[in-house]
Structure 1
Amino acid sequence: MDIEVLGALAVRENDVSIVPTAPKPRQVLALLALHADHVVPVGSLVEELWGAKVPRSARTTLQTYILQLRDLIEQALAHGEGGAAGNAKDVLATVPGGYRLNTLGGTVDYRQFATLAAVGYRAMDAEDFVGAARALAKALALWNGPALTDIPVGLRIGMEARRLEETRLCALDQRIEADLKLGRHRELLPELTVLVNQHRMHESLHGQFMLALHRSGRRGEALDVYQRLRTTLVTELGLEPSPALARLQRSILMARHEAPHGPSPSAPRLVARTG
């Protein structure tokens, strides 16, 4: 079974989709897919589907959704070699206290992402910036939009989606950092222009944008980025920018007016405040 959650939900057996059209069975499949090969307790599924307003028929209704998913799995298994139907209960197993979706050696995109991102982080630690940029770019290419963008979101899926988004932002931050180390500041400007508008209080991205602008000879614009971020932070959170970002702003302010030549030091490491 192959699973994709980094974008729209896709779950395939023998290249046949088993994603139902009805919203609540899709939620059940999504939560099982997020914890593939691990037990998802019945209570977690019930909480995801109904929140605090749990109907008396919740467990019976959940069992109906599981049966619907197994029907889809069985139809997909029938497309295997020789047309053998297989056993849907082996794929979507009932276990003590819950259910488990077994991948049986299939691919899971969020695991591929984590593996590639880890390679990139190790390369960054080793100052192999070419290798880091390459591995992190491959990891980020697995994303096709916000995680589970087409799924109704309850408490459990919402938490997992936010967690996955944070891992994406961490990988993106490090990939941009690697590109800055490699002197790719001009190439980064269009991407960073979009990112700082999407993440209006993310200090690390703003610092990287400031540095890329400054290195591209656009010192005034780099300082404008700082002022816009400071206004947003003060107005919406009552906070000043971090000391690291303030130091970067002062270093740009005190720099010569002409564009920097050759490699220049990276921005100080910043603790991101997202919003």
Structure 2
Amino acid sequence: MPSASASAYAIGDLQGCCSSLLSLLEKIDSTTPNSHLIFVGDLVNRGPQSLQTLRLIRALGERAQAVLGNHDLHLLAAAHGIRKLHRSDTLDEILNAPDRDELLDWLRHRPLALCLQDHLFVHAGVLPQWSATKTLSLAQEVADVLQGPNWVDFLREMYGNQPLHWNDDLQGNDRLRCIVNALTRLRFCDKDGTMELAAKESTGISLPGYLPWFDAPQRQTEDVTVVFGHWSTLGLIQRPNLLGLDTGCVWGGKLTAVRLADRALLQVSCPQAQRPG
């Protein structure tokens, strides 16, 4: 696996904004040609070019890595009739594409977490009681199922908010669902790591009794830099051990890339804001 060097960039949520991605890649290549790219998930949906986005990232080959986001999992579930398309979804082009099976197979083989040197990549968050090593191990448990022969059966059991609290004794679909919810949906938890999954993204960071997952006391991933997306209302977050990269491109904000070695920032604007839904 490539190391987090001067030629590695982390890139925020794309959500089908392929034209913005192409503009961002031009900026990256003019600064650091052939740099390694790590996407924090939600490659597709809500934006106007989900099919083109998925094809482009897949075509980048070994140059690019991506973790799965909740919208990516939604695509996999919708493709098998497990979830209905929402009114604001923009996935029909993928579902009707001649190469849909190849694209979906590529997508389901993406991890839910990955690590490059001291950077831990997830889409949404990490429960405070999980270390980086444990996060990667738990993410691999889900990947083993998604990449196995019974992956569609798991998708049927993946949705739901329970259990809200992690326990090492969890087994089966309850265990896998808790892992998926933390890595792809988490925004708030209480000081003991119990997840709050009902609040919409537009909610601020002041839910009574809850706090952003990254502010939980004694968070076990404080010894690494966690890189995440999923929370566009937060905007860009740059702390010594935290990078929040969802800057709301699909909602008329910006698409963001950060060079891992020195925190150099590159951004492009979305040419056309989409309507939240």
Tell me: higher relative CO, structure 1 or 2? Use CA pairs within 8 A at least 6 residues apart. 2
Using the size of structure 2 for normalisation, the TM-score is: 0.23
If you compute each CA radius of gyration, which structure gives the higher value, 1 or 2? 1
Q: Which has the higher helix share?
A: 1
1 or 2, which has the higher strand percentage? 2
